[in-house]
A and B are shown apart, each in its own frame.
Chain A
Amino acid sequence: MFFQKVLIANRGEIACRIASTLHELGIRSVAVYSEADRGALHTRVADEAWPIGPPEPRASYLNIEALLEAAKKSGAQAVHPGYGFLAENAGFAEAVERAGLTFIGPTAEQIRAMGDKRAARSLAEQAKVPVVPGAEGDDAKTLAKAAATMGFPVMVKAAMGGGGKGMRAVHDAKDLAEALDSARRIATSAFGDGTVYLEKQIEHPRHIEVQVLGDGNGNAIHLFERECSLQRRHQKVIEECPSAAVDDALRARLTGAAVALARAVRYRGAGTIEFLVDATGAFYFLEMNTRLQVEHPVTELVTGLDLVRAQIMVAAEGKLPWTQDQVHARGHAVEARVYAEDPARGFLPQSGSIVRLRWPHGAFLRVDRGVEAGDPVTVHYDPMMAKIVAHGPDRATALARLSGALDETRVHGVITNLPFLRALVRDPAVRSGAFDTEWIERAFLPGFESVASAPAPELAVAAAALAELLGLATPARTPHEANGVGAPAASDPFVTLGAWRLPGLG
């Protein structure tokens, strides 16, 4: 049997998204909020909301004691961690279980093992999943031989290093000995340990990940891949399912490797195995994320399956809700992340109050949002406001729909990255699928920056002056003018009387 009440240990769009599935299942949802999030959308869509402390994440959303206290007071039987915050904190998973509650996620052991890069790498190797080739040793000759086997370019890295210190790319065998010497010197002076190792440098990699689902007893299935190569400074911007770079043969190898690893660790719940894929189709294990991913909606649109529902079913019954044969992919989905950051000024995070807001509407669109008009965007948390996702029978249609949806979106009051997203989805390289994880910074940003800093058209300046002259620029006090499907207005008495709402009536 499912739970009657689940606490969502998160905020923003992901808390709203989890509440929506709980609601659908007839499970009562418990939101938590910091002082900065009093009255936030995620507290309005939940059946009840409990305060957990000051705005600083350490004191509230990362405060295990406060979260368990809220769970106890509300009578929740299970905790969903969302992503970020405590989602991959083994101590939290343990504390939840120790309090007699169910943690909707993997075991603490699995979180711990996958959180340790070297342990994760060795688990992958044991499951015969390819990892980035590497070599260790003191002998320059042995390392040179290993480098020749794995192929140049290689990276020389300090074993105890971090922050890129002592790291160096070597493109030719003749430069290796000198690079090893210099890396050892730097490593000795910087880390007090001159041990270095080699790793093959994957050139122009694509980031492709596989969604898996395990029952905790050794059974696991996959829900195809997602491509997340469109990143800016390692921050994913646009994600899609399936990948334009993956054909059926590569898909079979990627998903096969991912399922093998999930089975080998007897993985429980939803997880994602990330790979780097090079131009030849060779792929390498990067890491495993032991949680729901930000970009999970593209998988949901393509498979028609609800991953949060699956997480809850695995947690409640220890069974996979579907067999592999029941999972089918249909069409293509693309997601764009709307951030409160200024693309014309180095993507500086923005804050403020959303004065006017319109999310896009359409039969093939989904908007996972954490804010509505009238809501503040504060400095305390991640600047992601919403994810706009479009589905279509093929990639071109999905991208065209996403492009239209981004055009339709209007956010006034807080500067967003919408102009960046709109330019990105129109770029010929994005349309043709010819990109890698460094493409945005290498090829797209230079051109975009000159467009972003160009003067506004005269008509835009004229419109500002005319609106002011006609008294239109200051909006009337209607904070909830824009409410999308499934997000009732706060003036709705059923919401303000949240605790009285009957399941299924919202």
Chain B
Amino acid sequence: MRARYRDGTRSRSVEVTPQGGTSYRVVVDDGELMVTAEPLDDGRLRLSGPNGVIIAEVTSVGAQRFVRLGAMDFVLEREVAGRARDGAGGSGGLEAPMPGVVTRVMVQAGDTVEKGQPLLAIEAMKMEHVIRAPRAGRVSKVAAAAGEMVKGGVALVEMEAAAE
């Protein structure tokens, strides 16, 4: 089994090769681990390797993987092959950082904006988050109206970079 997980800003690769019984060879990025993995109740996993035994608990929610290792928590995101996210680029969409209600829309399509200029505001859990232009450019599309509920990750404003 091969998979890629997003870990913050990184993309981590993993390959699992069963070695018979409960033994596995796991290659994470360039590091090799030889482990035994025994399923316990309640989704837990008893992992033993050369450094000892640790209990892992993994919960899958959509693409998210909540991983608890001993008393540490990590959140990874399963990447689907061929659909790696690319946030960098001269133009493109500005996404809602979280689900919430759009409270103010401060630009409309066609507007020229400065870098850092507020575009719209989202309110969630009593806190307002202002989405600002990451660079100077022109707004090509505004995909949300004030009062609208939006999901996290949904593109709200599309921008074209300013011509050189």
Kindly state the interface size class of chain A when it binds its partner: 35 or more
Let me know if A473 is at the binding interface, CB within 8 A. Answer: yes
Residue of A at shortest CB range from B75? A415
Residues A463 and B71 in contact in the complex (CB < 8 Å), given A356-B43, A470-B45, A472-B45: no
A149 to B118, CA, bound (A): 44
Let me know if B125 is at the binding interface, CB within 8 A. Answer: yes
Report yes or no: A473 in contact with B69, Cβ–Cβ below 8 A. no
Residue of A at shortest CB range from B97? A348
Report yes or no: A453 in contact with B8, Cβ–Cβ below 8 A. yes
Let me know if A410 is at the binding interface, CB within 8 A. Answer: yes
Residues A356 and B65 in contact in the complex (CB < 8 Å), given A349-B127, A455-B10, A465-B14: no
A469 to B2, CA, bound (A): 10
Pick the most buried of A355, A455, A466: most chain B CB atoms within 10 A of its CB: A466
B contact residues around A382 at 8 Å (CB): 125-126
Contact with A along B34-63 (1 / 0, CB 8 A): 010101001111010100001011111100
B contact residues around A412 at 8 Å (CB): 57, 59, 61, 66, 68
A321 to B64, CA, bound (A): 51
A contact residues around B124 at 8 Å (CB): 349, 351, 379
Report yes or no: A413 in contact with B125, Cβ–Cβ below 8 A. no
Report yes or no: B59 in contact with A379, Cβ–Cβ below 8 A. no
A348 to B99, CA, bound (A): 10
A422 to B73, CA, bound (A): 11
- List 13 additional contacts besides A459-B28, A468-B58; criterion CB under 8 Å: A340-B125, A351-B152, A355-B66, A356-B42, A356-B57, A382-B125, A458-B31, A460-B56, A461-B12, A462-B35, A464-B5, A470-B37, A472-B45
A458 to B14, CA, bound (A): 9
CB neighbors of B among A324-376 (8 A): 340, 344-345, 348-353, 355-356
A415 to B121, CA, bound (A): 22
- Would you list the 7 A-B pairs with minimal beta carbon distance, nearest first? A467-B58, A407-B71, A473-B60, A412-B59, A463-B56, A412-B66, A458-B28
A contact residues around B33 at 8 Å (CB): 458-459, 462
CB neighbors of B among A8-41 (8 A): none
Let me know if B67 is at the binding interface, CB within 8 A. Answer: yes
A352 to B71, CA, bound (A): 22
A415 to B45, CA, bound (A): 21
How many A-B residue contacts, CB cutoff 8 Å? 163
- Could you tell me the distance in whole angstroms from the C-beta of A243 to the nearest C-beta in chain B? 28
Report yes or no: B3 in contact with A465, Cβ–Cβ below 8 A. yes
Let me know if A302 is at the binding interface, CB within 8 A. Answer: no
Residue of B at shortest CB range from A356? B59
A contact residues around B54 at 8 Å (CB): 459
A contact residues around B101 at 8 Å (CB): 379
A contact residues around B66 at 8 Å (CB): 355-356, 412-413
- Could you tell me the distance in whole angstroms from the C-beta of B60 to the nearest C-beta in chain A? 4
- Could you tell me the distance in whole angstroms from the C-beta of A223 to the nearest C-beta in chain B? 29
Report yes or no: A355 in contact with B76, Cβ–Cβ below 8 A. no
Report yes or no: B14 in contact with A473, Cβ–Cβ below 8 A. no
Report yes or no: B76 in contact with A460, Cβ–Cβ below 8 A. yes
Let me know if A163 is at the binding interface, CB within 8 A. Answer: no
Let me know if B100 is at the binding interface, CB within 8 A. Answer: yes
B contact residues around A323 at 8 Å (CB): none
Report yes or no: A468 in contact with B3, Cβ–Cβ below 8 A. yes
Report yes or no: B59 in contact with A383, Cβ–Cβ below 8 A. no
Report yes or no: B29 in contact with A379, Cβ–Cβ below 8 A. no
B contact residues around A317 at 8 Å (CB): none
Of the candidates A345, A380, A415, A456, which one forms a contact with B67 in the assembled complex, judged by CB atoms under 8 Å apart?
A456
Q: Can you list 14 A-B pairs with a CB-CB distance of less than 8 A?
A: A349-B125, A352-B61, A355-B61, A412-B57, A413-B59, A460-B56, A462-B33, A463-B67, A464-B76, A466-B37, A467-B60, A472-B43, A472-B45, A473-B60
Contact with A along B118-143 (1 / 0, CB 8 A): 00000011110100000000000000
A379 to B96, CA, bound (A): 13
Let me know if A418 is at the binding interface, CB within 8 A. Answer: yes
- Could you tell me the distance in whole angstroms from the C-beta of B93 to the nearest C-beta in chain A? 18
A349 to B57, CA, bound (A): 24
